[in-house]
Amino acid sequence: MTDPLIPPKRKDPLVVTRAGHVSPTLRSRSATAMAARAGMGRFVLQVCDDCAKATYPQRDRCPFCWGTLSWQDQPNGAVIEAETTIRSSIDLFFKEHLPWRIGSARLDAGPMATVHLHGDVARGDRVRLELKLDRAGNPALFAMPERETPHMADDPQLRVFTAHPKFRRVLVTDGRSEIGQAVAEALLKAGAKTVFLGNADPLMRYPGQEQIEAIPGIEPVHLSLTDTRSIETLAGQLGGRVEIVVNTARFTRQGGVGFGGHLSNLQSGLDLEVTGLMRLAQGFAPALSARSDDGDRSAAALVDIASIYGLTGKAGYAGSSATAAARLSLMASLRGEMAQTGIRVMSVLTGPIEDGWHQNVPPPKTTSAQIARAVVTALEQGQETICADEVAKDVLARWLQDPILTIREENK
């Protein structure tokens, strides 16, 4: 049974923070391809196009017949055939986290694989394998108990591969919006210790303010993503006390490019969502990075919520889609930067939101509760990209299959 995580003690300011070492990044194209799929929560292996055998670890050609390989979703069951405990390592990260348990798993899909073991898993057990990303963004197999065990998410080896909100302190950037409030509540329910809830204009009241600020664990803070100084000030106050940052800021307006769009809306959207995201990253990324291996309450993730139409554009929402595209692009660059420091960078993708700016869009539309659930799931799983709703899932699936066709379809 996993020992339940206990609330971390207040940090001794005189103790040196453990440096957040990350393993070297795997450079091969196949490892990168596997990581990209792991980041979307898929369990994939390479399967030979000729002999149809699945293979692991990732390689460039089939080890049985030299055929070409393609990525396919595979059954994730396995049996642990051997286990061992590593007590010495030259890897700078694992050296600080010994002893570390690994095992050999016989996958239902065919191959044998070396896997990281959950504490409740032993030799002979049937397990559920998850394809995870390590701190450097490399793919790794993690063996979970087949059925839920007590305090399963608290396993110290598993926590290295996730950004679980339990006992962590979170900054949610826009508490004035329904999305921000839903995300804040969901994070507290998932075990977050404190949610610092951003408010760009403390002198103006907003709907739901009394209820959300009365919830234990919510701490209102002054934060405006369009104001560099407000971010610098808050980062100075909270930098060492925030482990997760969730950016819920959004500015949606209707309009096309040549017809019906307002330049001022595009500028406002770019300033809040794009320049704002960069301001936020510049304010908080260094402090998060400095504490990426700081015990049970290490800094873990930066999460951004953006429209799926950033991938395709969207007729009638041209400016907002362009803003989302810039936002996704910044997140991709930031992900590469933060892989050097062990902080996860996550994008939650949404379809049209159930709000006043999508009144003419037919359902289904994304609710705040769905977005909140996706944020918590991404953190609990350590997933880089997650869709909050069915529309986003559908657009992403079509885009993965045929991006050029999907762009046409969404802009008819």
- The residues of the shown chain that bind Zn ion, judged by CB under 5 A, are 48, 50-51, 62, 64-65, 67
Give whichever of 48 and 388 is closer to Zn ion, judged by the CB atom.
Answer: 48
Give whichever of 56 and 251 is closer to Zn ion, judged by the CB atom.
Answer: 56
In sequence order, what are the beta bridge partners of 399? none
Rounded to whole angstroms, the maximal C-alpha distance in the chain is 70
Contact at 8 Å (CB) between 125 and 80?
Answer: yes
Residue 306: closest CA among 242, 395, 412, 409: 395
CA distance 164 to 153: 8
State the minimum distance, in angstroms, from the CB of residue 50 to Zn ion.
5
Q: Which residues contact 126 (CB under 8 A, 6 or more apart)?
A: 77, 78, 79, 146
Give whichever of 51 and 215 is closer to Zn ion, judged by the CB atom.
Answer: 51
Give whichever of 74 and 254 is closer to Zn ion, judged by the CB atom.
Answer: 74
State the minimum distance, in angstroms, from the CB of residue 37 to Zn ion.
20
Q: String of b and e for 273-303 (b: at least 16 CB within 10 Å)? A: bbebbbbbbebbbebbbbbbbbeebbbbbbb
State the minimum distance, in angstroms, from the CB of residue 141 to Zn ion.
21
State the minimum distance, in angstroms, from the CB of residue 68 to Zn ion.
9
Give whichever of 3 and 49 is closer to Zn ion, judged by the CB atom.
Answer: 49
State the minimum distance, in angstroms, from the CB of residue 282 to Zn ion.
48
State the minimum distance, in angstroms, from the CB of residue 64 to Zn ion.
5
Contact at 8 Å (CB) between 62 and 48?
Answer: yes
In sequence order, what are the beta bridge partners of 316? none
Give whichever of 46 and 157 is closer to Zn ion, judged by the CB atom.
Answer: 46
Give whichever of 51 and 397 is closer to Zn ion, judged by the CB atom.
Answer: 51
Contact at 8 Å (CB) between 222 and 230?
Answer: yes
Residue identified by tokens 């769905």 is 370
Give whichever of 48 and 386 is closer to Zn ion, judged by the CB atom.
Answer: 48
Cis, bond preceding 286 (omega within 30 deg of 0): no
CA distance 344 to 303: 8
State the minimum distance, in angstroms, from the CB of residue 273 to Zn ion.
47
CA distance 363 to 290: 44
Give whichever of 55 and 181 is closer to Zn ion, judged by the CB atom.
Answer: 55
CA distance 309 to 323: 10
State the minimum distance, in angstroms, from the CB of residue 72 to Zn ion.
13
Give whichever of 59 and 95 is closer to Zn ion, judged by the CB atom.
Answer: 59
CA distance 323 to 95: 43
Contact at 8 Å (CB) between 350 and 305?
Answer: yes
Cβ neighbours around 206 below 10 Å, total: 17
State the minimum distance, in angstroms, from the CB of residue 47 to Zn ion.
9
State the minimum distance, in angstroms, from the CB of residue 60 to Zn ion.
12
